[in-house]
Amino acid sequence: MSPRLRRTPLTLPPTPVTTILTPLERIKVDASAEGSYVTMHRSTVEEVIEDLRERRADVVLLSVGRYDATSTARIAAMVNEFPRIPAFALLTDLQKSTPQSVLSLGQIGIRGLIDARQQSGWKALRELLIGEQSTDIQHVALAQLSHDLIVAHTDCWRFFELLFTHRPQIASVRQVARLMNVIPTTLISRFYRLRLPSPKRYIEVARLIRAARLLENPGLSVSSVARQLEYSSPQAFSRHVRKVMKMSPVQFRKSYDGSGMLQFFRRELIQPHLTTLLRFHPVEAKPSWIACDDQIDDTPIRTLRDRVKDGDLRQQSGDL
């Protein structure tokens, strides 16, 4: 297989699930995980909401057997505050109150019911949670970019893969350069020589894709999103949004969801530069310059030191 076509299969981490279950259901849910999800068992809806606010969980699992009418309003508020976080009901036993409980949970916005009274129900639970992994905005982004960059060099693809999969999340050129085993100024230079947007620009917009998806949940404040994305302060996040998108965080929240920011990323940073990106080799310089020779004029390439001295890379060097 050509090096351009190699793709390392994405290893999806276990889905973090916050639950309110009966003691017996906790044991069965944990036993059926098989590495596809990890559970955080809670006793109250308030504890579940705290998990969602702190971004500790991607899915909510509620026992039909634990449901009571007094928690209806709070569960409904949770669903409204966190519409991007799916909530499911788990049924393991039939009781007299079960039909009314299932009906009430459906009316307040619980997405689906998992009937685990038979063994096949546990398999359905695993498949459901694996399916939720694939809808995460970062995996959606990589799926679309993989289509755009289907014949890009392996190390070019590695750059974009790191933007959306690495933990901790990439926030600087130094981070991505270290992971790609290249000097930061060298990485910047290689983007610059081919007239690509700077790597810092790609990193900035990728971070805002995640921010936009989180801000789809009314239960998350701008300050909470800034903290979860590891900005130094809400003010730093605000400055970042104004710098990159030329708008306030409030306007950003109204204007873009996660999918909209992903399309902005592709429209501004991928599609106008697609021909160059498909030939780009950010780690090994020689193949890049040979493959992309038609992208460079006849002027002799100056050394990085000369160009920094002349001020050509002064701004980019400040973005490390």
Q: What is the pLDDT of residue 285?
A: 54
pLDDT in tens, 288-305: 333 333 333 333 334 434
Bridge partners of residue 89, in order along the sequence? 62, 113
Q: What is the pLDDT of residue 186?
A: 93
For residue 2, pLDDT beyond 70: no
Pick the CATH number of 15-134 from 2.60.120.260, 3.40.50.2300, 1.25.40.90, 1.10.443.10: 3.40.50.2300
For residue 277, pLDDT beyond 70: yes
Taking the C-alpha atoms of residue 55 and residue 223, their distance in angstroms, rounded to an integer, is 13
For the chain, domain boundaries: 15-134, 137-317
Q: What is the pLDDT of residue 36?
A: 83
Q: What is the pLDDT of residue 302?
A: 41
Burial of 153 (0-12, 13-18, 19+ CB in 10 A): buried
Q: What is the pLDDT of residue 7?
A: 53
Q: What is the pLDDT of residue 118?
A: 87
pLDDT in tens, 90-116: 999 998 889 999 999 999 989 889 999
pLDDT in tens, 190-238: 999 999 999 999 999 999 999 999 999 999 999 999 988 889 999 999 9
Q: What is the pLDDT of residue 136?
A: 78
For residues 288 and 281, the answer to whether their CB atoms sit within 8 Å is: yes
By percentage, how much of the chain surpasses pLDDT 70? 83
